[in-house]
Amino acid sequence: MIVASQNQHKLKEIEHILGVKVHGANIKVKEDGKTFEENAIKKAKAGLRKFKELTLADDSGLEVKCLGGKPGVKSARYATPPTPENLCNKLLRAMKDGKDRRAQFVCVIALAYPNGKVKTFKGVVKGRIIEEMRGSHGFGYDPVFVPDGYQKTFAEMKPATKNHLSHRGQALKKISRL
């Protein structure tokens, strides 16, 4: 399966969750959509145009209540370079005076078919942002995100546990039911 991404962390998660080998494709697309759906569709269609076969694309991010939903669709571009340390530290500084630490990870997967049809699948996991980074697994904001009903951050969980609970895991499970 062609996946319109060069993000090795995402590719590894997708392979693990779907149980299939995926091929990452470097698709240059300006992610200027206002929603995760718009960006995922844009990337999937670009991959389809380039490779002429079924293409999967993901757009995902973190929405934080006290920040009015930010960083949202700009999650991957919130800090430069986008290392977990830079992303999490900038987020924690922005939330310094925020009392409502509720947050959610959102993932939209778009599948672009050779016949031109596009389907989208959405996954959401709710949780909260803690006040310090914990854990060494995962990537992005995983060290500061604790899903509802748990005490560990995504970065403290075993990858299989995180993939079962995560926004990306939820969206990909919907695809596997096709």
Catalytic residues: 59
- Give 129's strand partners: 145
